[in-house]
Structure 1
């Protein structure tokens, strides 16, 4: 067989040919030993478990990383993609996440590594930076485009972030990195997984001479995430990939790295090193939120409420957005609904605060802006605060959310659970009827329920109290309020926050730009409590009783392990929204009919 070497239009000098030969040798050696190439030219050193994940993923079309928080999967994915793009020409990669902000966060990780902005990468080089094509719109070559952040290397490899608009991303071709895959929907994955339905070695030409081209690197789907819910596709992919790998299918790789694996087995070149995770951090996470720790530290998938769930996790994710909480009425014009489930001894005592939004298209809807848990941190079992302290917190929040330059309580409606166990009537509503002096030193009007039968005579005595209280009887209203919760969330009328437990969030500034918003301690606490509320809501189930009735309670596996107080306050908020929308619907908004242009009636009959 004759080997045909086509001549080029330009003659190269011997020195140039030697340089190309060295370059070719380095590239081919890098393809054989990508870890060596990454360490030598990018200056990045991986821990042994990361290097194992890197190499096992290198030539597999389908790979899945199930890793705990703190495992460094996003950083590893960034270095992995940098190495692959440098060694494989014409290699196009798309980043798919639950939101554009998350995709851009992965993009910025690659950008920070290239620009040597990560202090923990002590020997990181700028070689990758010099492989990027520069454009007039960007000095570095990293393009921040609203349609998708992207950059291109001189070997025509390219990386692009994807938006969550499925219609805008159909029909693309290339490898896909799925970051935080646990909560991606089946519809979203179905669109992006088709990106690899092309044989990269396939090609046609008009020449009669048949060339034997080298086999191309296959396109790849790489899923990286901590554990999520069993109802989402990531769980089935985890099971399928693991089974195929165990059966010897060389196209699949699956790994499961939990927090204790990192804590007890962190090594570099076989030598044990101190783990970047600490046992104190892990134990603290287990104590604060066992369910979250199981999922995010130990890779245990949660079951949620299943088919009986009042609100599915899919619905909660669809109705969640990245935004900071609102800790006070910043304009003095916003309206709020307080939903309070009081407790003193056994249950949790929770106050959820919703902002009322009058949307021009859908009408009234709610934004959950804060959740306050009245917990006595000094108590052994984290029981609720004494009622006087809870009332003190409530009065302070009422002043802050009513806003400045506003009439007394004109911006607040207050819903309180009237169950006997929590003391909603005697310990809360009764104590709020009198006028009181706030921390601001001013006298404030009391508040009262204008309709509850308990206050039939009290309303005549406390005439100065504002009628903004709505006492909710759990026995008579539990079914109604949870029905409202299911309906309002399905209609996308309640907005929650989306938070990944970091010290910052990425806020969309438009035109493809995102601002890093540093969170205060109070804001982080509010966002964590909202996450806990969403978790409780996802476990609330609707069960049919033998006598034909309906019962709402936590799923059977969580009934004796967690509280439902936060979910109950969310249901009260949904009920308040349903009442508000019903009142708005019944308003007489009919325009007066103009009869000036109506036809006249004339007759010769005498009436």
Structure 2
């Protein structure tokens, strides 16, 4: 007689034991050789500098990667965390970026690698994708996109993208991937860094018998970013991590990779390879914008305007969001403010366009929707276009933004710098008074400043010209305008756009998911010019003079930098201040958040309510 005793749920069959032994050998081998594990099981071949960075990061608790644009830090981080999540059970990882859209993009990079959607990884496998738990999920792949981007593996490790709402993400525990950290504030970092302030080996039990337990992997914080401003915490962490690594602290790793390192030192298994960055690309970036190239390509931290800054980069980031530029009046009912700083020879010539928004809660505000640089791309020194060509661009934009089925020019107010150097009066305003015919043969009314002293006679002659022009004297109004832009941005009354130099952006849906929206070349140029305007504004400083006055100039180490786009932003803020002041004066109760006495001017221009 044979007696069969069934195996309980706590006992394992010999076959199960052998399978677990094989698995444990693979897992332990992978933990000791994570780079080889990544290449063997995921089919991802790393460049030597990536393999070095990967391996040095593996064993530390605090790591920082300062890498130039194009270095592939998101791709390397995705491969790194795929390996870590698969080899460490019960491991929670959270992604945090400046915006939720950036966190989603980082999440999607890992997902696309796992699902073999990136052509450059020709030998990629689906090993990681098969380990994603699909049970109880409405996603065929197990990668959830809405309302939160997240997934869970069969070993109970998980990954989640965090929103940018600090109050909504407090109190979590796990490892953290802080991406695009250069522009994160100290408060934002503090909230997420506390996730890792837990000893993973700590536990309590009511059992009398104490058992030896395997040591747990500590929670790790990885900071990845191109460099930014010295006033942000990323700069201090960069210095601290480097010093600690230099003195031999095995818990810290700091990695710095610039464009020339990639160009001249790319290799695989010790054999030199062709870099994915080219020397022509690097030279072109240096020629077009040396200051930006220092930051984006060579990891030189930007000093910004310091404590004298009119508007800090933090304030600009707070008021920025992912959106497409508006290249025309898409509804025909929107109102716009044009601000123009003309130039012909030595300076830049820039036209900025703002949409006027009548918000129910805060009143009038502006949305920065387009920025046009009147540059002659064929000239050697990239000088401005001839004035006739600039005027043709302006007329074309006026038609686009006024909109169809609208009276001329009821949807536009036009502010022009009247300084003698740029020819704002003689070369621009004088030429726009007469009626003109567009390229389709349609006649349009001219435009004129109804209050400027030089047009006292012209107003009687050009009676058909619309009074929408406001000539602004920089000598008398520069302080007022920069005071206005400082106040308007601090009050969150000017909206800006984000742009990371890609040919697409991620736009949120109502359900929390994101759509990838491709950008046309014209939209990319507009967003790039808008980013330049924000950068110039961050360099503008307020200095007190010895006689008790105030001057506004670029930071002392940015004297060779242009400020034309920043000036147009100040013009826009000035127009908004006037609009809000007139609106508040008509109300029985004034909004205490705005002090119109700050904008008392010697000559108060009359402006139509738009």
Q: Provide TM-score, normalisation by structure 2.
A: 0.94
Given that 1:59 and 1:217 are in contact with CA atoms closer than 8 Å, whether structure 2 keeps it comes out as no
Q: CA deviation at 1:36?
A: 1.3
The match for 2:294 is 294
Q: C-alpha distance in 2, partners of 1:327/1:569?
A: 17
The match for 1:597 is none
The match for 1:570 is 569
Q: C-alpha distance in 1, partners of 2:209/2:158?
A: 31
Encode CA deviations 1:529-572: one digit per residue, 9 max, x unaligned: 0111011100000001100000001011111x211111111100
The match for 1:596 is none
Q: CA deviation at 1:457?
A: 1.2
Q: C-alpha distance in 2, partners of 1:579/1:392?
A: 29
Q: C-alpha distance in 2, partners of 1:476/1:398?
A: 27
Encode CA deviations 1:174-195: one digit per residue, 9 max, x unaligned: 0000111101111100111111
The match for 1:602 is none
Given that 1:48 and 1:269 are in contact with CA atoms closer than 8 Å, whether structure 2 keeps it comes out as yes
Q: C-alpha distance in 1, partners of 2:91/2:158?
A: 6
Q: How does 1:122-521 map to 2 (within 5 A)?
A: 122-134=122-134, 135-146=136-147, 148-521=148-521
The match for 2:540 is 540
Q: Secondary structure at the match of 1:557?
A: helix
Q: CA deviation at 1:292?
A: 1.3
The match for 1:101 is 101
Q: C-alpha distance in 1, partners of 2:587/2:314?
A: 37
Q: Secondary structure at the match of 2:137?
A: coil
Q: C-alpha distance in 1, partners of 2:137/2:555?
A: 57
Q: Which segments of 5 or more consecutive residues in structure 2 lack a partner in the other structure?
A: 1-6, 590-610
The match for 1:4 is none
Q: C-alpha distance in 1, partners of 2:299/2:145?
A: 34
Q: C-alpha distance in 2, partners of 1:406/1:440?
A: 18
Q: CA deviation at 1:8?
A: 6.1
Q: Which segments of 5 or more consecutive residues in structure 1 lack a partner in the other structure?
A: 1-6, 591-607
Encode CA deviations 1:493-543: one digit per residue, 9 max, x unaligned: 011110000111000112121011101010000011011101110000000
Q: Secondary structure at the match of 2:509?
A: strand
Q: Secondary structure at the match of 1:495?
A: strand
Q: Secondary structure at the match of 1:177?
A: strand
The match for 1:79 is 79
Q: Secondary structure at the match of 1:542?
A: strand
Q: Secondary structure at the match of 1:38?
A: helix
Moved more, 499-508 or 579-588: 579-588
Encode CA deviations 1:91-130: one digit per residue, 9 max, x unaligned: 0000000011000101111111111101011111111111
Q: C-alpha distance in 2, partners of 1:10/1:381?
A: 78
Q: CA deviation at 1:391?
A: 0.5
Q: C-alpha distance in 1, partners of 2:211/2:573?
A: 68
The match for 1:24 is 24
RMSD value, Cα: 1.0
Q: CA deviation at 1:588?
A: 5.0
Q: C-alpha distance in 1, partners of 2:26/2:443?
A: 78
Encode CA deviations 1:279-332: one digit per residue, 9 max, x unaligned: 111111111111111101100000000000000010011011110101111110
Given that 1:325 and 1:370 are in contact with CA atoms closer than 8 Å, whether structure 2 keeps it comes out as yes
Q: C-alpha distance in 2, partners of 1:452/1:589?
A: 31
Q: C-alpha distance in 2, partners of 1:310/1:463?
A: 41
Moved more, 131-140 or 520-529: 131-140
Q: C-alpha distance in 2, partners of 1:119/1:43?
A: 13
Q: C-alpha distance in 2, partners of 1:565/1:11?
A: 76
Q: C-alpha distance in 1, partners of 2:227/2:325?
A: 26
Q: C-alpha distance in 1, partners of 2:558/2:574?
A: 24
Given that 1:396 and 1:439 are in contact with CA atoms closer than 8 Å, whether structure 2 keeps it comes out as no
Q: C-alpha distance in 2, partners of 1:528/1:165?
A: 27
Say if 1:392 and 1:79 are closer, same or farther in 2 by CA, change over 3 A: same
Residue 111 of structure 2 corresponds to residue 111 of structure 1? yes
Q: CA deviation at 1:11?
A: 4.2
Q: C-alpha distance in 2, partners of 1:475/1:402?
A: 30
Given that 1:544 and 1:550 are in contact with CA atoms closer than 8 Å, whether structure 2 keeps it comes out as yes
Q: CA deviation at 1:589?
A: 5.6
Say if 1:232 and 1:407 are closer, same or farther in 2 by CA, change over 3 A: same
Q: CA deviation at 1:14?
A: 2.5
Q: C-alpha distance in 2, partners of 1:506/1:42?
A: 27
Q: C-alpha distance in 2, partners of 1:414/1:9?
A: 79
Q: CA deviation at 1:145?
A: 2.8
